[in-house]
Amino acid sequence: MAKQLFIKTFGCQMNVHDSARMADVMAPLGYALTEDAGAADIVLLNTCHIREKAAEKVYSELGRLRRRIEARRRAGGETLLAVAGCVAQAEGPELLARAPFVDLVLGPLTLFRLPEFVAQAHRALAAGACPVAADGGRKGLGLIDTDFPAEPKFDHLPAPGVQGPSAFLSIQEGCDRFCTFCVVPYTRGAEYCRPAADIIAEAEALIAGGAVEITLLGQNVNGWRDADGTRFGDLLRRLAGLPGLKALRYTTSHPREVDDALIAAHGELQVLVPFLHLPVQSGSDRILKAMNRGHTAAHYLDLVARLKAARPGLMVSSDFIVGFPGESEADFAATLEVVERADVIQAFAFKYSPRPGTPAASLPDQVPEAVKEERLARLMARLDARQMAFNQASVGRRFPVLLDRPGRRPGQLVGRSPYMQPVHVMTETARLGELVEVEIEAAHPHSLAGVILEAPPRQDPERACA
Ligand code: SAM
Ligand code: SF4
């Protein structure tokens, strides 16, 4: 019988992708994914350190999992408990002090070493290295691998397995921008860009495996460049030419890395969806400077205007942080203004969370929690209203929709519009994985409903992608 691997992922799309890669490297050793942590031979948490709340969730989850693992051990089963990702990288030794029942601690850049690490753990257990904890249970092995290896992890990973119609392709890792609030440069290390040839080869393999939509991933994805100086816009052009690719997305991009060639690519390449996640974080130039973002609000608004001019129908989503140290009511008002002026239709909004070791954590004028709460509530209300308005304005439009999951009702499938709105359709003929043309009939706060058009009789002037 296959050995069982349980993975729970916290945080960003990069982590979701990394989790899939860890499943890929364990598959040749006979490990199959399970959803039952209580029956797993390895329980792995792939963690996020971006905000304090995200990191604390990991410790609560570890407490819950420990009880299930102990129960399995009492019944004669052995489970290895592993923590991977950014909490592992940032807090390795502290993590083991707080959760001494953990066996393996593995950073995001060394995930390819998981098989060897598991073998090392099994050797230690076979050699009798199972000290008893104070409460009578088995103490964790406490093995740590949080190096920043000299060679990029991509060189050690096997080609990814078939991902289906919508696939992720990691093109860049780490970040050199050092925004003063952010842990990423410390947990994921210096920026590394994969060579274009490797990216194209992986995209071809994904398409051959059935992908029609590819999302390029990187912490600073549009900062990608090849050793010969080729920039991100050129990479998009090459990918857009691949036969069979119907939609191309990328996340997360930085305003400072949007150049003329990238804006032109949005105008020329119909395969690029007319939707861009372009985080601004704040609308106040004073705060943007303190954040070390390297752009002003006016620069951001100018980019959005130029992107929209290049590609009619293009809309942006964004990330916002409220309550950065020193943020005044006037600074916050500037953030609300940028939401309106950039016509943001969706966003992630966060209360500033001081992260140990980042410059902003030791700035004076930390904003009181109650003020952050109140500003976040006001911002969220604005963002929700804008999202609802955009959903309502979608009624009557036609979108290409990639059906990617079953709905709750029999005969219902759910897909995503080019603007990432979930779209519900009732169908007896369409199948999961199909890209269909849908006319939108109803709007809800966070989703749309529509009908599949068999043969589209007319062209929506702002029609999104092929
Ligand atoms: N590279 C992306 C960029 O430059 O926008 C973002 C990566 S980060 C994983 C995702 C988002 O988390 C950021 O855009 C920011 O809004 C938020 N974030 C990062 N650090 C934060 C902190 N200390 N407190 C609150 N939110 C934070
Ligand atoms: Fe963090 Fe800034 Fe890098 Fe984004 S660009 S990952 S926010 S340091």
Q: What pLDDT shows up at residue 465?
A: 36
* pLDDT < 70: residue spans in the chain: 130-136, 161, 455-466
Distance from residue 172's CA to the centre of ligand 2 (Å): 13
Question: 217 by DSSP, 3-state: which?
Answer: strand
For 181-194, b/e burial (b = at least 16 CB within 10 A) is: bbbbbbbbbebbbb
Residues with a CB atom less than 6 Å from ligand 2 = 175, 177-179, 182, 184-185, 219-220, 254
User: Measured from the CA of 220, which atom of ligand 2 is nearest?
Assistant: 5
Ligand 2 centroid–CA 289 distance in Å is 14
The tokens for 100 are 């001494």
- Give the pLDDT confidence score for residue 461 in this predicted structure: 40
Of all protein residues, the one whose alpha carbon is nearest to atom 14 of ligand 1 is 319
Report which protein residue has its CA nearest ligand 2's atom 1: 182
Give all strands (DSSP E) within 332-411, no chain letters: 346-351, 398-406
How far is the C-alpha of 332 from the C-alpha of 379, rounded, in Å?
A: 9
Q: Hey, what are 112's tokens?
A: 């390819």
Point out the ligand 2 atom lying closest to the alpha carbon of residue 185: 8
Q: What is the pLDDT of residue 463?
A: 42
Query: What is the predicted pLDDT for the residue at 456?
Result: 45
Encoding tokens for residue 369?
Answer: 């929690």
Q: How far separated are the first and last CA of the chain, in Å rounded?
A: 44
Q: Ligand 2 centroid to 279 CA: how many Å? A: 10
Specify whether the CB–CB gap between 419 and 438 falls below 8 A. no
Per-residue model confidence (pLDDT) at position 164:
81
pTM above 0.95, yes or no: no
Cα 284 to averaged position of ligand 1 atoms, centre (Å): 16
pLDDT at 438: 97
Query: What digits encode the pLDDT tens for the residues 164-206?
Result: 899 999 999 999 999 999 999 999 999 999 999 999 999 999 9
Atom of ligand 1 nearest to the CA of 360: 23
Q: Name residue 122's amino acid.
A: H
What residues are in contact with ligand 1 under a 6 Å CB criterion?
A: 12, 50-51, 181-182, 184, 219-220, 252, 254, 279, 281, 319, 321, 350, 352-353, 355
Q: What is the pLDDT of residue 127?
A: 85
Cα 8 to averaged position of ligand 1 atoms, centre (Å): 21
For 312, list phi and psi in degrees, rounded to 5. Answer: -55, 135
Ligand 2 pocket test, candidate residues 220, 253, 300, most atoms within 8 A of CB: 220
Nearest CA to 31 among 10, 65, 6? 6
Residue of minimum CA distance from atom 25 in ligand 1: 352
Choosing from 51, 177, 188, 222 the residue with most ligand 2 atoms within 8 A of its CB, the one to mutate for a pocket test is: 177
> 228: left (phi > 0), else alpha (psi -120 to 50), else beta?
alpha
pLDDT at 136 (0 to 100): 67
pLDDT at residue 454 in the model: 74
Record the tokens describing residue 66, joined without a space: 């420990």
Q: Are 426 and 397 in contact (CB under 8 A)?
A: no
What spacing in Å lies between the alpha carbon of 174 and ligand 2's midpoint?
9
Distance 182 CA to ligand 1 centre (A): 6
